[in-house]
Amino acid sequence: MQSWQKLCTKRKNAHKEICLKASRSIWFQTVTNQGKVQFMIYSEAVNADKFIEFLKQLIKSSTRKIYLIPYNLKVHHSKVAKEWVERNKDKIALFFLPS
């Protein structure tokens, strides 16, 4: 069972519509060290442009540099994303864990 399915099972009535949408969606999400959650939901395939759009939203909502640990999805390692992060290295840094 997927983690979102467990959440939907526990909260059947209150969040049914959200859970149904989440089951067919892709999420980018972050949690800060202060517990602030930010996310974007996509109903179509994720690509580097959507990942960059999410990174832009993170930067826009922060007054300090962002240190992000993404998992190893291909779009996170794409040439376009790496170039964008390099151009914005004063605002964001990505750190990948070994897979």
pLDDT tens, 52-84? 999 999 999 889 999 998 888 888 999 999 999
**CA dihedral over 42, 93, 87, 65, signed as positive or negative:** positive
pTM metric for this prediction = 0.69
Distance between CA atoms of 19 and 6, rounded to whole angstroms? 10
Length in residues, the chain = 99
Is the pLDDT at 10 greater than 60? The verdict is no
User: What would the pLDDT profile of 27-46 be if each residue is shown by its tens digit?
Assistant: 777 877 777 888 788 777 78
Distance between CA atoms of 86 and 90, rounded to whole angstroms? 9
Percent of the chain with pLDDT over 70: 73
Q: What number of other Cβ atoms are within 10 A of residue 51's Cβ? A: 22
Maximal C-alpha separation, the chain: 45
